[in-house]
Structures are given as structure tokens and as C-alpha cells.
Amino acid sequence: MTVTILASAPEQQRHQDEPNVHKTRRIDGKAPSVTRDVSFGAVESVSENSRWAMKENDLVSLDGTRETFAEGANPVLETSQWAMKEIDLVKLNEEGIASAARYIHSQMQRESYTPRTWRTHPLHVCPTEPFAWDDPSTRACLDWIFLISSLNFSFWSEYEGQRGRYGVEWRSSWDPKSEVVVHTGYWSLVAAVDRALEEGIPITDPSFYASETRCPDELVEHVFRPAAQSVEGIPLLRERIAILRQNGAILCEKFGGSFYGFIRAFRNRYHDQGTALQLVKMVTEHFPSFRDESTFQGRRVYLWKRAQILVAEAWAAFYPPSAAEPHPLFPGSSGAAISELTMFADYRVPQILHHLRIVTYPPALAKRLRAHAPFPSGSPEELAIRTASIVAVEHVRREILRIVQEERRADGESEGEEEVSSVLIDFYLWDLAKRAEGAPDGVSGVETTPMLPIHRTRSIWY
């Protein structure tokens, strides 16, 4: 089966894995107008001038309306705050935010959870230290992160918690002596890619996966082959293959066949003064499959889950041993300015946010979640859950920053400039959610509400 990616106008490039327009029921007496533009366009339709040519902080909607954001303002947070308020379905719980912020801050300190924690995950591909641009591990790590982020979506299963769900059989780490296990969820993607590399398949090389000759569909299917116990394959395989082809072609045609080349272009564009948010914007400018956006009541809502996590993972992978050292990807005077990024609105972190009482759901929405009802991509309920999660983690971030400043004053220290980021909070919450999956009562040590199932949306965006 061949998936064809059709060219369209630059501002109409989305991936067509569900209907373009959803006519939705009323919510709390409102009849919102929601569209989800889900076709992503061909390489040749990505214009250098299509999204950012006017001004650095301008974005143009489908109807040609230009929206300008303040310097350093993330369109994801700005438009999510608006959409959450307009949809008026998911609420923030300020008492729960305060309680969870104290718990998260305490646990992250106790566990020494820092950006460097990324390097401790046993399946991750890490660059050699000390860092060097000409070290082969630098390019290898960047290409690995780019491939993983390109395909980091939709791992939930109808067989959640059962042996039959999609899984990949490989070792528990890169250590050849580690035990062989079956990895599920996001880790099934990572394990499949690592296994392929060990088998001599250069699956992280854009020039390889862009080529249908060198890397035919059947080989990609082999890379993601399920464990013997699985009764299903990886979700959205054809869409994943189409994304591989397109992203690989863009890197080969414009950036020397590597995400390493893309980072070099970013550094040149911003004269080594670029920030993480500027890199996110450059990713969405060039790669249609990273443009995770919806339209609500005629206004574009930017979510950018995979674009932000791509940049955040690169930031963490290359985070220097000492915070006093310049970050090699963001060596400018502002550094990465990582606190400008938001959390990554998926289906797992919203689940733990509700469990920790950070957000609250109306009874009708909770009932649909318990019934495992599907939520179409871009529907009001799905958009409400995702945008509320973005806003909620920002509130948690600000509360943790307040706690840190109080601690510094109590210790007689000057308040200083603390960089508390939604990125690191998201990393921690995702790990916490995965640990809580198998616990009968969920998270302990903080007041919680019973864990609800994840919201089920099958799409390429998350």
C-alpha cells in the first residue's frame, strides 16, 4: 500500500488521518466552531516565506489573518489560554496546583531530577562528552532524536494493560548483557529504532529512510515488527512511513541530509544567538508534519507537541555537565531560554494532571473517558484537554518558581534568576505517569483523585 502526500497551499498543510471539519455538539450551551486541518503537504509546497517572512513573531492563519506575538511569547501558551477559556470545559484547580507544585518540586529535588536525567534513560542514544561538533556521536544523536520525535505519536492501545498490545522485544538497555524484555508505548518506538541500528539498518539516516529504494516500506515494517505476544502492529504505520519519506526528503534537499545540518542552519540564521522557541518555530516552518495546530472559532490554536519535544530532547541530550557552561546548541547570551517552551500536550500527561487534582473535568467528560469513547482530533473536548494541560503546567511552573524564590529568601540568598521550565516538569510528570500506571492507587505522598483513562485520539500529532 502506498500513501501519497499531496501538495497544497503552504498554510493548509496538515495530515489527513481524520475528517478536516468536525461539526460538534453543544457544550455548556455553546455551539463552537472547530476545524482540524489535518493534511500535511508535499516538500515542494513548503515555502521559505510562507509562515515567518513578515516578522519573526508573526503567524498567518488560513484565512490570511496575521497574528503578532510579543518577543519571547510562545504562541502555544498564548492561544491555549484563549481556547481553554472559550471552550470552558476543563478547569484549573488552584488548591490542587499548589499542592502538586510542592510535591513535584520536592520529588524533583529528592531524585536530583535535572536536564541531565535524560542521559540516564538506558535506551537513549547520547552524545560523547566532552562535546565536539565534529564528533560522529553529535550527528548520530541529533539524527536519532529527530527520527524519534518525527514518529513520537499515538501509542495507546485497545489492549492497554494486556499482553496482546503492540510491543517490541529487545534488551532493557544498550548493555549487551541486559535482559530481553517487551517494550510498550513510547518505549516500543525507541526499542525498535535501537534494535534496527544494532542490526545494521541505518534507520536514523535521513538519506536512507527518504529513499523507497534503499528503505522500502517492507523494511520499515520489519523495523517495527511486533513481539510474538502482540496481537496488533504499531498504530498508523502508513502515516509513519509517509512522514519518514517527507522529513527525510526535506533534510536531504535543504540541510545536507541530516538534522545536524538543520541545527547548523539554525545557528547561522540566528548568529549563534537563537533560543529554543526560535528553533521550534524554524522546525514548524520547514516540516509540515510537525505543525500540530487547530482552528477554534476562526482563530488558530498552536499546540506544537512534537516540535517542542524535539527541541527539548535535543536541549537535554546536549545539556552540559555544569549549568555554568554554555549550551552548545544555544550558546548565545540568552541561552536556550527553555522556560519559553510549554509542556507537550499528549494523552499521558493530562491523565496525571487530573490525578494530581491540577485540572478538573465535568462529570460528562469523565464519563466519556471511563467509557473509552473516541475523541476526534480537534474536537472541543480534545482541544479543551490539551489546552488546559498546557495552561495548567504553566501555572505549576510559576508556583514552583514562587516556592524556589521563597526558599532562597529563607536561606538568606538573593532571589536571582531561576529557570524553572515546563519542559522539565513535563519530563518528570510523564515519568511519574508511567510509574503510576501499575500502581493500584496511583501516586502516593500527595492528595489525588482516582486515575481516569487517557483520552483516546488517534492522530499523528501526539
Residues involved in catalysis: 346
Q: Do residues 79 and 73 touch, judged by C-beta distance below 8 A?
A: no
Q: Which residues does residue 27 pair with via DSSP β-bridges, in sequence order?
A: 30
Residues 6+ apart with CB under 8 A from 77: 342, 390, 391, 394
Spatial CA neighbour of 319 closest among 169, 127, 186: 127
Cell of 62: 488560513
State how far the Cα of 341 lies from the Cα of 327, in Å rounded to an integer: 16
Q: Which residues does residue 296 pair with via DSSP β-bridges, in sequence order?
A: 34, 299
Reported as type and span, the H/E element at residue 259 is helix 259-269
CB atoms within 10 A of CB 368: 18
Handedness of CA 231, 431, 382, 368 (dihedral sign): positive
Spatial CA neighbour of 96 closest among 440, 393, 404, 459: 393
Q: Is 106 exposed, middle or buried (0-12, 13-18, 19+ CB in 10 A)?
A: middle
Q: Do residues 342 and 81 touch, judged by C-beta distance below 8 A?
A: no
Q: Do residues 175 and 122 touch, judged by C-beta distance below 8 A?
A: yes
Cα–Cα separations (whole angstroms), residue 462 to 121, 230, 289, 397, 457: 21, 22, 11, 22, 9
